[in-house]
Amino acid sequence: MPKARTIPGFPFPIPFTIPFPTCAFLIAIAATPFPVHAGPGPILSEVMADPAAVSDAQGEFIEIGNPSPDSLRLDTLRIESAAPGTSGASSGSQGLTLAGVKLGPRGCFLVCRDSLAAENGGMACDRRWPALSLANGRAVELVLSWSGGRAVFAVPASRPGVSWENTWNVAADFRGFEPSASSWQGGDSATPGSRNSRSILKPERNLGIVEVTWSRSAGTGADAHSTASGTRVGSEGFLEARIADRGTAGPVTTFLSLRLDADWDGKAETLLDSVPVAVPVGGEARIRIGAGSGVRGIVHAELGRDENPSDNRFILPVEPGRPLEITEWRPAPAPGEPEWAEIRNRTADSGGIARRLDLGYAAFNGLPLGSKAGTLEPGEFLVVTESAERFRSRFGPIKARVLQPSGWRPLRNTGDTLVLSLAGIAVDSVIYPAVTGAETASPGTPGFSARAEGGDAWKLSGKVAGPGRTLDVEVVTASGGSYALRIFDLEGNLVKMLGTGGAGRRAHSWDGNGDGGRLNPGPYILCLSRSDGSAFRAAVIVMDTP
Amino acid sequence: MIPWVIFRRSLMIALAAFHLALATAFAGNQALVTGFYAGSLGAGGATAAERSGFGQNPAALRPDRIGAHADFHQPFGMDGLQVSEAGISGDAGFFGAAFDWRETGVEGLYGEQGLQASQTLRLGRAGSAFPGILDLGASWIRWQSFWPGGGREIAWSHGCGAVWWPIRRFKAGAFAAGLPLEAGARERTDRVLQWGFEADSRDPDGDDFLQVLRLDFRKTADTPWRILASLSLRPHPSVEFTAGMANPPFQGSLGVRLAWHGAEWRQALRYHRYLGRTWLSGLVYSHPWRTSGAR
């Protein structure tokens, strides 16, 4: 009964037809980085490690294959055999170069220790290499180096008389080298002393995107997406796509296109790059594309001419922070007030790139905002409420746009989780506890961004004060701190000392009057200065018309 | 011919309005932020350091010159809050007029526009029996407020003031602004009272190193009287540096003026103890348009 094992970097368990201890071919690669955009190099398609079983002590051979659909020149290929752990550095062999050898598409080339068929088990060799010494249970390493890379195959003291096929399986970073479970279509399947056919390399396969990652290292603004940590490459970022060969029907060559949806409307409008994909047979490859710090939005990766519809597309949000944020929410408003929540475009914050967002595909708590939501400029607010009319009646004119989406679902007073999504991707969520009466779970007020300005320092009930319209201010100060709440006119004159306080939560209200009496309409500045010297400011309006 | 009749009528209106101002207190953005005042924190407003602008003494005259200015700033760096201003002026030897426009807005919340017309009459002059030079001025402002979704309101106010120049290197001035003009109407502007002095080291028209010290006292609406002081250094007619302070609350400022062929560029930085920094920018252009015997 074959065992199924999961190989690091490989997306599905691989059944081994040979018991694992025996199958421990343990081919380790002390590798060089996989060349960007490089096509596959030659592979070691079969190894006759110990020909003793075929009664020919000189019968070692190795088979070098070309997995690509194009011809492959082996001019730069050099093969060495060495003692284990030396990786060829102290090779006792003189090595073999294959200058002038050209492999056709998916062709192979046989290198034998003994070229005489009568002495090597009947093999018809393409090149004799007397220094090839794999014989009879002695562990060695084979080192293949070529212009595009270098690989070391550890050939253990294996079971006599067995040749190993399909040794090439490129894992994540060339360190998970394991024998592949699949055999080459139409080829010999590891018969001792029997050479594989010329068509051993599987001509068809299906490529799938396993993962796309974005990584950037730029001082303190480092950010990374997806599960991979990625390699830091200076101050610029890179997109890295991992492509897997599924080993099923599909074209061999394809292109990976990367497009950017900067405004999160679900439509990729900017082509970032289009690169050819070349994956070694039966393996995976990482394709790295320099992306720079200007990539912000959703990256759409897609493989062209791939017949597998399930995994040839991949989307990756690339943002250092939230592009859109729920800044305020009020699930249990006072009598007569509507429920509402406030949303803000935060693309400019946390090192992002300020840009307009399309809310046509946005949803709040699963409720699509629809085309009426329009676009949201950087820093702009949008209030979604169950009743725009009652909202305006309560808060008067505010800076934020007010939207009443159809089919409003009441927010639960027993506590809930609010989720905001863009183009089907959840970009922010808040969890609030049970609330009662006029209490609010929100840290701020519509049109302001207390959460965005660094904490829970204050909370305003609106932007307008005046006769019959009180502006409520709630201040939360950390332990040991104190604050003063002042109102200034545009000349910088103090017109009202609204209050002071220490640590804890305190509430203040302003009716629009100054210390010297009623203030005239116009802009005034409400300023909360804390004992640590920091200050919050907000422009408020005094109205004297109902 | 001196427009004595015009002056007399203006004076009567001003005195009547001043009386009303004493009885009522009233916003309209009349902050002193135009041109030079950006760097002086308003010191010099009583003695008309600028030819024209909102919140200053209307008794300003630059004989035989015409000019224009444009200023902009965001008070205390507040997002969405901005103030823009522009004006033109034209003066003869003894009479001048100016027109200014200022817009103050809070994005999406409130807008306010003021249109100001001011006139100045010079009474005393060299060789006459009047001790020194006396400039008298009056201004009228039409205020219009906008409330998004809430319509608009209009109010009128006016102001008057005087600047006395008893000797060449000393000036004193006082003015009142934001006085209600419409009897019985709802007042929409804050009353501003300011008086102050100015002393300079040399003839300001000379090319030598010039120092100007200004000390003003200003009261806006019901806020306490404030002290405004500034020192200007002009090492060259084309370059001027100004440092100012105001209290309470404490504010400090630094300004620079660069002039070239009648054009001036002004840039200032203010600091407010609680509200932080404000950058102010302005452009001024003035040009002599005729030669007269007036000084």
- Find out whether B266 and B260 touch, Cβ atoms under 8 Å: no
What pLDDT sits at residue A100? 78
Name the residue among B128, B129, B159 with its Cα closest to residue B143: B159
* Residue B86 to residue B212: CA distance in whole angstroms: 25
In chain B, the DSSP E strands lie at 65-73, 81-91, 95-106, 110-122, 133-147, 151-167, 170-180, 192-200, 210-220, 226-236, 239-247, 251-260, 263-272, 276-288
Q: Secondary structure of A315-371 in the HEC alphabet? A: EEEECCCCCEEEEEEECCCCCCCCCEEEEEECCCCCCCCCCCEEHHHEEECCEECCH
The secondary structure of residue A398, as a DSSP letter, is -
Give the model's pLDDT for residue A282: 61
What's the pLDDT at A263?
A: 82
Residue A442: the pLDDT is: 46
Average pLDDT over residues A240-254: 65
Q: Which of A385, A532, A383 is nearest to A463 (CA)?
A: A383
B188 touches chain A (CB under 8 A): yes
Rounded to an integer, the average pLDDT of A265-287 is 76
Q: Which residue has the tokens 């305020």?
A: A328
A261 band by pLDDT with thresholds 50, 70 and 90: confident
Mean pLDDT of the residues in chain B: 83
Single-letter code of the amino acid located at A113: R
In this prediction, residue A513 carries a pLDDT of 83
- The contacts of residue A274 (CB under 8 Å, 6+ apart) are A255, A256, A257, A258
Collect all residues with Cβ–Cβ distance below 8 Å to A67 and sequence separation of at least 6: A40, A43, A106, A168, A201, A280, A281, A282
- Which amino acid appears at position A528 of this protein? L
Q: A253, A308, A315: which is closest to A67 by C-alpha?
A: A253
Whether the pLDDT of residue A496 is over 60: the answer is yes
Task: Give B76→chain A minimum CA distance, Å.
Answer: 9
Contact flag A525-B76 (C-beta cutoff 8 Å): yes
Residue type, A330: R
Q: Give the nearest partner residue to B274 out of A398, A491, A527, using CB atoms.
A: A527
Interface check A533 vs B, CB under 8 A: no
> What per-residue confidence (pLDDT) applies to B116?
94
**Chain B: residue nearest A497 by CA?**
B223
Quick check: A463 pLDDT over 50?
yes
Chain A partners within 8 Å of B75 (Cβ): 490, 525
The closest CB to that of B190, out of A492, A520, A525, belongs to A520
Q: What is the pLDDT of residue A114?
A: 78
CB-based contact (8 Å) between A354 and chain B? Answer: no
Least confident of A213-227, A485-499, A525-539, B191-205: A213-227
**In the numeric block, which tokens belong to residue B223?**
């806020």
Compute the average pLDDT of residues A146-169.
47
Judged by a CB distance cut-off of 8 A, whether residue B246 touches chain A is: yes
pLDDT of residue A318: 79
**Using the beta-carbon criterion (under 8 Å), do A397 and B108 form an inter-chain contact?**
yes
The per-residue pLDDT for A55 is 58
- Is residue A468 over pLDDT 80? no
What is the pLDDT, as a whole number, of residue A347?
79
CB A392 within 8 A of CB A403: no
d(CA B270, CA B273): 10
- Residues A298/A318, Cβ–Cβ less than 8 Å: yes
pTM of the predicted structure, to 2 decimals: 0.49
The string of pLDDT tens digits covering residues B165-190 is 888 889 999 999 988 776 554 455 68
CA A359-A363-A364 angle, to 5 degrees, is: 120
| Greatest mean pLDDT range, A63-77, A287-301, A306-320, A367-381 | A367-381
pLDDT in the model for residue A544? 60
What does the pLDDT read at residue B70? Answer: 95
State the pairing for strand pair A108-112/A127-128.
Answer: parallel
CB under 8 Å to A21, separation ≥6 — which residues? none
Under the banding of pLDDT at 50, 70 and 90, the label for residue B71 is: very high
For the segment A295-312, the average pLDDT, to the nearest whole number, is 67
Q: Which residues of A touch B221 (CB under 8 A)?
A: 489, 493, 495, 514, 516, 519-520
Q: How confident is the model at residue B21 (pLDDT cuts 50, 70, 90)?
A: very low
Per-residue confidence at A211, pLDDT binned at 50, 70, 90? confident
Are the C-beta atoms of residues A207 and A279 closer than 8 Å to each other? yes
pLDDT band at B139 (very low <50, low <70, confident <90, very high): very high
In this predicted structure, what is the pLDDT of residue B269?
94
Do B275 and A527 lie within an 8 Å CB cutoff? yes
Provide the percentage of residues in chain A whose pLDDT is more than 90: 1
Dihedral Cα A198, A277, A266, A453, nearest 10 deg? 130
**Confidence tier at A460 by pLDDT (50, 70, 90):** confident
pLDDT of residue A224: 44
Residues A288-307 have a mean pLDDT of 72
Amino acid at residue number B31:
A
Q: Which of residues 46-85 of B touch A (CB under 8 A)?
A: 75-76, 78-81, 83
Q: Give bridge partners of residue A258 from the DSSP assignment.
A: A273, A301
Give the H/E segment covering residue B40.
helix B36-40
Q: What number is the average pLDDT over the span B264-289?
A: 91
Q: Cα B82–B84–B86 angle (5° rounding)?
A: 175
**Is B80 in Cβ contact with A527 (below 8 Å)?**
no
Q: Tens digits of per-residue pLDDT, B27-49?
A: 588 899 998 999 999 999 999 99
Q: State residue A152's pLDDT score.
A: 59
Higher pLDDT, B267 or A318: B267
Over 50: is that where the pLDDT of B259 sits?
yes
ipTM of the complex: 0.87
Instruction: Give me the phi and psi of A269, to 5 degrees please.
Output: -110, -15
Instruction: Measure CA of the first residue to CA of the last residue in chain A; give whole Å.
Output: 84
- Going by pLDDT thresholds of 50, 70 and 90, the confidence category of residue A273 is confident
Q: What is the mean pLDDT of residues A354-358?
A: 84
Under the banding of pLDDT at 50, 70 and 90, the label for residue A160 is very low
pLDDT classification of A67: cutoffs 50, 70, 90: low
pLDDT at residue B127 above 70?
no
Mean pLDDT over all residues of chain A? 65
User: What is the number of H-type helices and E-type strands within chain A?
Assistant: 2, 41
